[in-house]
Amino acid sequence: MGASESKRGEGDGENKESGDTALAKESSSTSALAAGAIAGAAILALGASVVSLMAESSKPAEEEKTMKAPGRDTRILRRTFEEDPATYFRDLRSHSSMPSEEEKTMKAPGRDMRIPRRPFEEDPAAYFRDLRSDSSKPGEEEKTMKAPGRDMHILRAPFEEDPKTYFRDLRKK
């Protein structure tokens, strides 16, 4: 029995070795499979980043970053401005001396309306001279005010020209 036992033991040893070899082969194939999966994922990530970089470099100009243009009510490309702001401001000054399509306006002094800014700034005396000559003419829209001491409205111009007469007439009544 001893001999047969030893044969059995040797046979079990061979089976044990072949089981260990199979287990080692299986674990090495699992490791190889995992390594292959990691390598594949890395290649996919690399490919995706290359495609992404190529897509960014071929973006149309309308997708580039913009900013509000200093001194204007428009938008400009940020990259162009940041590369050379001096040229932008030089061009802005040279274009501002040109007559623009949209004339700047301002509130007219002494009136409830807007007037072109440039003629007023060039000769304000002419504006006020015209204002006085216009107000001395009878107009449809003469200013009124609440009459002092009465519950009514009167024309402002005659009262401002001679308030003494107004109060004298008020006492007579």
3-state helix, strand, coil in the chain (%, to 5): 65, 10, 25
Q: What is the pTM of this model?
A: 0.24
Give the tokens for residue 130.
């015209």
Contact between residue 76 and residue 64 where contact means Cβ atoms under 8 Å apart: no
Using one digit for the tens of pLDDT, what is the confidence trace for 1-16? 555 555 555 555 555 5
Using one digit for the tens of pLDDT, what is the confidence trace for 54-109? 766 555 555 789 988 888 878 888 898 899 988 888 888 876 655 555 678 888 88
